[in-house]
A and B are shown apart, each in its own frame.
Chain A
Amino acid sequence: MTETDRAAPEGLAVAPVRRTGRAFAARGAKGLKAALTASPIATLGGAIILFWAICAVLAPWLAPYPPNQLDPMALVDPFPSAQHWLGTDQLGRDILSRLLWGARTVLTVAPVAVLAAAVVGTLLGLVSGYRGGVVDALVMRVGDVMLAFPQIILYLIVITKFGASALNIVLVIAVTKAPIIARIVRAVTLDVRNRDYVAAARMRGESTLHILLVEILPNARGPLIVDIFLRLGYTTIAIGVLGFLGIGLPPPDPDWGGMIKESYGLLFVYPHMTLIPAVAVSSLVVGFNFLATGIREASFDV
């Protein structure tokens, strides 16, 4: 978030060589499954994510109250009770319900943003690494400019200029994360573009698109999967930060960062209003990071 641009640790650039698209798909799914069962850290991370995913999907049925419904009676005693298991917030809204709906928000915005960044970044990285020359120089230069921009300032400028909406958050995250993913993919592309099997594909008369997607891309699978999970964690933090700074999703719809911002002044009196969403957002990021670590350990042995 925050903030800095954190690329996956360096050791990850070493990718096992995969030849065909089918092998990629098979290994990808199997690799993930293997990592989930082999590494306790990955299992724990996966379980946390699964928990929040279930909360997000079932929010309309699980939530005891509508997320924005005010309960004036609860203002007298907002602490957790039989009616409100996690208590109510400064306006008398049920915290459990807002937490569940908030999970829905973050688990929609973060994956969409990361996926957009991954698609754009992968294409740019492939083309730039494979073509080289002017295209490469241009893509990398523009990427450098993006990365030189302190992220939080970019968010501030874009969001105060164009307004806070889920779409703008997705766009700004996609644009700032794409250069990092482009670099990872480009490094792999540069490494394999002169291999024999790529030359063979060219000789067979395969189209450039086929070469990029079927022959080259599978090599970047490992680092990409790890990076995507790390990115999901950082994006969750970024969304939380935007909410906390008051430039996230517009109220009153529940957003974990926003919940913390709104009740933060009451920390001395009603700490549960702030602590509960803080625990929620931290646990989700821990989940993503544990999963990324586990997969990395299982597939790269580092």
Chain B
Amino acid sequence: MARYLLKQLFNMAITLFAVTFIVFVLNELTPGDVVRKLLGPYASADQVEKVTREMGLDRPVMVRYAEYMANAARGDFGQSIVFRRPVSEVLWDRLGNTLLLAGVCFAIIVPFSVLLGVLAGMRERGWIDRSVSVFSSVCASIPEFAMGVFLLAIFVVQLGWLPGTSPLRDDTGWPIWTQLVLPAAVVVLYDAGYLIAMIRTSMVEVMRQPFIRTAVLKGMSFRRVVVKHALRNALIAPFTVILLQINYLVAGLVVVEMVFAYPGFGRMMLEAALAKDIAIVEAGTLVAVSVTMLTQVVGDLGYRALDPRISI
């Protein structure tokens, strides 16, 4: 167990270094680039050279990368050009907003898709299965920006029930919670569509097992068979997938954040990337990859807890 954790941490560290290094090199291999972006297109070559020297950017890329990582370890990610604040401030701010939305979505997606997935997989090819399968397949097929547009057209333009933008400020005339409804709805429909299909497949497979047939034949009620025997087994395989949704919910919310002008992490990354705000892009990547790696380890541990046959 301890060995496993150690190995995972080691793997995590390697991946983290690889990813941050790739991003760093892509952005900062040629030192002039950084200063050019800082000073703008009209700076003279002399100015660029001077600032490059002053900022220590003329040193080899490996040295600068090591320095960057050392600073990052202390929580110092440098200064953002776009937001004109320290990167760490902007980063935690935006990450907090995204985690709020992601948390709401996750809390709805998991029970919703487990319920529908199990109901559908319980009686394969029954009418519930058919309808749930079509529903989930259609939901997973509608891209978030399209779903956002559809929901906006219905609930904002036609009915006027909900706000069309979600800047998370209360001076817009809409309480904060109403601003979360539409973004969350888009994410839930899109993501649950996929999860339901995974859980259904797993449930169908479990329901075909001999031990289920035995339970039914010995006269157990169908309800008890499902709840007592099938449920836990059917949730083992989708468990990792469920956890993987956390990743998606951190970086993948960018589309929803753009549709609803939500001040989140993904939108910050997009704005920073378009404005070549390298410090933000690097720090954001570091955070996003760390989240991914952590959920992987948690996933493996949970897998083991759920399924005693697996030892790691």
Contacts and interface: CB of A to CB of B under 8 A. Distances in A.
B233 interface: no
Interface stretch (A63-71, A154-162, A203-211): A154-162
Interface stretch (A89-97, A124-132, A144-152, A179-187): A144-152
Most buried by B among A156, A268, A293: A156
A114 interface: no
Given A153-B288, A289-B137, A4 B153 contact: no
Which of B201, B244, B296 has the largest count of A CB atoms less than 10 A from its CB? B201
B146 interface: yes
A79 interface: no
Contact of B247 (A4, A275, A279, A290): A4
Contacts of B145: 240-241, 244, 257, 260, 278
B197 to A, nearest CB: 6
Interface stretch (A6-14, A115-123, A212-220): A6-14
Contact of B19 (A149, A158, A290): A149
A5 B134 CA distance: 22
B285 A244 contact: no
A152 B266 contact: yes
Nearest to B290: A148
A145 B19 contact: yes
A267 interface: yes
B65 interface: no
Chain B interface mostly helix, strand, loop or mixed?
helix
Contact of B138 (A6, A149, A257, A286): A286
Contacts of A141: 14
Nearest to B276: A160
A286 B274 contact: no
Contacts, number: 151
Given A2-B252, A4-B244, A10-B202, A267 B157 contact: yes
A31 to B, nearest CB: 20
B146 A281 contact: yes
Contact of A6 (B14, B194, B205, B269): B194
B202 to A, nearest CB: 7
A110 interface: no
B18 interface: yes
Contact of B252 (A3, A244, A281): A3
A289 B142 CA distance: 10
B289 A150 contact: yes
Interface in B200-246: 201-202, 204-205, 237, 244-245
Given A150-B289, A157-B281, A293-B133, A240 B273 contact: no
B201 A282 contact: no
B273 A267 contact: no
Nearest to B275: A160
Given A10-B198, A285-B143, A267 B153 contact: yes
Interface of A: 1-6, 9-11, 41, 141, 144-145, 148-153, 156-158, 160-161, 233, 237, 240-241, 244-247, 257, 260, 264, 267-268, 271, 274-275, 278-279, 281-282, 285-286, 288-290, 293, 302
15 contacts: A1-B252, A41-B134, A148-B293, A150-B247, A152-B254, A156-B273, A156-B281, A157-B273, A161-B26, A260-B146, A267-B157, A278-B149, A281-B146, A289-B141, A302-B205
**CB-CB nearest 10 A-B residue pairs:** A150-B251, A4-B248, A278-B146, A3-B252, A156-B273, A285-B141, A286-B141, A9-B201, A244-B145, A282-B142
